[in-house]
Amino acid sequence: MLKNYLKIGWRNLMKDKTFTLLNVIGLSIAFGAAILLAMSAFFDMSYDKFHANGDQIYQVYDVAQTPRGQEAGTSQPEPFAEALRTEVPGVEKITRYLQDGGLVIYGEKEIDLNTVWVDADFFSMFTFPVLKGNEHDPLQDQASVVITESAANKLFGNEEAIGQTINIMINGKEEPFTVGSVVGNVPPQSSLEFEVAVRFEKNAEYADTKGVWDSQYHGVYVQLPSGVSAERFEKNARSFTELHYKESMEAAKRDGAMPDADGLYRQLKLLPLKDLHFTGYRKGYAEVSRSVPYLILGVAFLILFIACVNFVNMSIAKSAQRLREIGMRKTLGAQKGQLFFQFWSESLFVFLSSMGIGVLLSILLIDDFKSMFRTRISLDMLAEPWAVFMLLATILTITLTAGGYPALLFSRLGTIQSLKGKLEASGNNLVRNALMVVQFGIAILLISGTLVLWGQVQFMRNKDLGYNKEQVISFPLNGKKNGHEVLRLLKDELNGNPDILEVSASDNNLGRGKDGSQWSSAIGFEHKGRNIRTNALTVDYNYISTLGLQMAQGRDFKSEADSLGVLINEAMARQLEEKDPLSARLEVGSETGLAILGVVKDYNFQGLDRAIEPITFFMGEDMELRYAYVKVAPENMASSFDAIEQTWKKLEPNAEFLGSFLDENVDRTFQREKTMATMITSGSIIAIALSCIGLFAMSLLIVAQRTKEIGVRKVLGASVASITVLLTKDFLKLVLIAFLIASPIAWWFSDQWLQNYTYKIDLGVWFFVAAGLLAMVIALLTVGTRTVSAAAQNPVKSLRTE
């Protein structure tokens, strides 16, 4: 019986190759896109889930009440971890974590490797399997390091890594270390990335910050024993906070800060490791958002939904052509169940074929997809048991719903009704029209989202940030030489080049450079009985002029004597509440205080998702410089870039040159928005294409059903234009209804998303009108190609059609 169902099903599909092909093409595209999108989404959601003890590991962060509102952060002082271990019950294991680039030297090789500074518990807390060396205590002493397999290959090639001595640049000096263990490469779904792991006590800041509670610069992770919840630990830690942060809390009360809902001014909180990748602290609390992977899954579902709507609509529309077949089968004794399986088997053919082609498409396009969306998915994911199960569950669900509905509809038709070749159209048309409205509503929703996203991306890209980002090149000073020393050499070498206008440096980059780093440094101090908090930036001479910053008051740094002074921005001046900021002194690092030499006009040194914060500029030979800035003439920018690269290679022949223009750095800071925009754009194109396939197929069927009507109207004098309008207006009405429903929904989602940005576009009505008009034009062109052809046909031929 099953063999007979499949044989007849195959024959019926081959009878109408056009509609079968349209269904297979649409579903194959939908399955291929959905598979790639789902792989990307599940890859994101798998972050940090490979650790054996992951459910018991948390990152410690603190929430403080300030006069400016609630603030949250993960940076902790050096003595914090040990005090927490000994004073708060419930800590099974704990580690400090500081990530930084590290210049590793082995023989003639000098390689900048991703280095982390951690405590001995790190490798017993997190699952990074040891391949060679000490498995039980990889960081057995402070003279040992742990490296990954890829780092071992970079440094030693085919040589044995264990026992080798490498040097790491720390505070401008080469410190020797012995390779004690080699671990497997860090999985791509890890928030904690490293190539070299060193004991925390060996980091460059340790000597100066040991025992100091007001210098916060690293993260802390704890592992709780079974049976101890995060909530219980947080309550246990309240006495710890009251002891070690008493002065800062008293200062917050004095300055007018309000307590939180628990009546506290500072609390320690725990963030589960599984949430680490999805958490931000911009709003003053740990905001966990998995919106991006869920959005990707949502787009995948919508694409599949549109393809299934096409299949259902085409199946219902073609039902009139098979009514007599259904009636004859019932007359010969066919039962409802037999008819259901007959029609369902045809759907199964289409869906299985489409799924197979979709998998093939996803395999062929995976490399392009990875480049477009900057994801690290791999084909190995398709072989995972969960992926195979999901594919089978998806095909079963879709065939039972999308394929089962038409099959159920046909099997329930009465025998007499079927033999007469008549079908009650009103109910079916209502279902068809409703599905088409939903289909085009989804397309309009995606088009609107695309326009809004790209509008915000272009706004952020073109916004005046207050500094020159087009003519300035930045690059990390990642060689062996001291930052101040290499900067002086760089200035000397570039001095004779007329295209090099100015050279300066700082301890931080603007935007996100090619080295991938993006961080900030903040300090707090007392000023006239109030607590002041400011971002801190170490700069060299000419930093202001190199970046094209503007002075609002005072002057720039001019001589070595100016190291006893600072520059501040306008936001910092407002926080000081001084009538004349230049007359004030900041009580930072000096008994007499630091003089304010000048006030710099506000500029966006952070992302556009936050307001401009206070910043203070310091200068001094004892302060580290990490990034160089070179301002070039606009005429020969490419040759200037090459000249800077060649000069760097001359000064640091073994260090990689990672230069980029500041506008490129800024672009990298909103890579997430660009990826989302590209993803929704791609989804919109696929959604529109699938909708057009369904709309074209529907127009073919409707024109075929109204062929004689068209012939009669032409004989009676109807023009081609009037017949075309007659045949297309019903489709355009459905698109208009879809626009009226989808636009408010699109506006609400867009408005909610834009709330994440301090600087954002105005959400004008034209975004949604443009999406509606685009959908209308596409629908008109799709239907019009067939209706105009039918309207222009010879009426004699139309009237002869049976």
Residue 338's pLDDT is 63
Contacts of 633 (CB under 8 A, 6+ apart): 471, 498, 499, 500, 501, 640
Comparing CA positions, the residue from 149, 201, 202, 197 lying closest to residue 171 is 202
Residue 636's pLDDT is 87
Residue of 351 and 202 predicted with greater confidence: 202
Residue 551's pLDDT is 94
Contact between 337 and 8 under an 8 Å Cβ cutoff? The reply is: no
> How large is the average pLDDT for residues 726-739?
82
Residue 470's pLDDT is 92
Residue 333's pLDDT is 56
Query: Burial code of 731-748, b = ≥16 C-beta within 10 A, e = fewer?
Result: beebbbbbbebbbeebbe
Of 275-279, 687-691, 717-721, 777-781, the one with minimum mean pLDDT is 717-721
pTM confidence score:
0.83
Helices 336-373 and 671-705 meet at what angle, rounded to 10? 150
| Reported confidence tier of residue 426, pLDDT bands at 50, 70, 90 | very low
Secondary structure of 565-585 in the HEC alphabet? EEEEEHHHHHHHCCCCHHHCE
Residue 323's pLDDT is 57
Strand order in the sheet with 472-476: 500-506, 627-632, 472-476, 660-661
| Reported confidence tier of residue 181, pLDDT bands at 50, 70, 90 | very high
Whether the per-residue pLDDT at 29 is higher than 70: the answer is yes
The pLDDT tens digits of the residues spanning 253-294 come to: 888 889 988 899 999 999 999 999 999 888 888 989 888 899
Contacts of 572 (CB under 8 A, 6+ apart): 534, 614, 615, 616
Of 507-511, 523-527, 643-647, the one with minimum mean pLDDT is 523-527
Instruction: Tell me how far apart the alpha carbons of residues 131 and 117 are, in angstroms, rounded to a whole number.
Output: 20
Contacts of 501 (CB under 8 A, 6+ apart): 471, 546, 631, 632, 633
Residue 788's pLDDT is 67
Whether the per-residue pLDDT at 420 is higher than 70: the answer is no
Contacts of 62 (CB under 8 A, 6+ apart): 72, 73, 76, 241, 266, 267, 268, 269
Residue of 309 and 265 predicted with greater confidence: 265
Helix (H) or strand (E) holding 131: strand 130-133
| Reported confidence tier of residue 3, pLDDT bands at 50, 70, 90 | low
Rounded to 10 degrees, the C-alpha dihedral 291/293/298/304 comes to 170
Residue 802's pLDDT is 47
Contact between 147 and 139 under an 8 Å Cβ cutoff? The reply is: no
> How large is the average pLDDT for residues 170-188?
91
Residue 405's pLDDT is 66
Whether the per-residue pLDDT at 418 is higher than 60: the answer is no
Residue 336's pLDDT is 62
The C-alpha R_g of the chain, in whole angstroms, comes to 33
| Reported confidence tier of residue 208, pLDDT bands at 50, 70, 90 | confident
The pLDDT tens digits of the residues spanning 337-366 come to: 666 676 677 777 788 888 889 999 999 999
| Reported confidence tier of residue 427, pLDDT bands at 50, 70, 90 | very low
Residue 335's pLDDT is 61
| Reported confidence tier of residue 502, pLDDT bands at 50, 70, 90 | very high
Residue 475's pLDDT is 94
Burial class of 60 by CB neighbour count within 10 A (0 to 12, 13 to 18, 19+) = buried
Alpha helices in 90-229 (DSSP H): 122-125, 149-156, 206-209
Helix (H, G, I), strand (E, B) or coil at 790: helix
Residue 425's pLDDT is 46
The pLDDT tens digits of the residues spanning 523-547 come to: 888 888 888 889 999 999 999 999 9
Whether the per-residue pLDDT at 251 is higher than 50: the answer is yes
- Overall residue count recorded for the chain in this entry: 802
Whether the per-residue pLDDT at 658 is higher than 80: the answer is yes
Of 294-298, 577-581, 728-732, the one with minimum mean pLDDT is 728-732
Positive or negative: CA dihedral 481, 487, 488, 492:
positive
Tell me the DSSP string of 724-735.
HHHHHHHHHHHH
Instruction: Tell me how far apart the alpha carbons of residues 788 and 89 are, in angstroms, rounded to a whole number.
Output: 80
Residue 795's pLDDT is 60
Whether the per-residue pLDDT at 611 is higher than 90: the answer is no
The pLDDT tens digits of the residues spanning 61-108 come to: 999 998 888 989 899 999 999 999 999 998 999 999 998 878 899 988
> How large is the average pLDDT for residues 698-721?
67
Of 136-150, 278-292, 517-531, 615-629, the one with minimum mean pLDDT is 517-531
The pLDDT tens digits of the residues spanning 436-491 come to: 888 888 888 888 988 998 899 889 888 889 999 999 999 999 888 888 999 999 99
**How much is the mean pLDDT over the chain?**
85
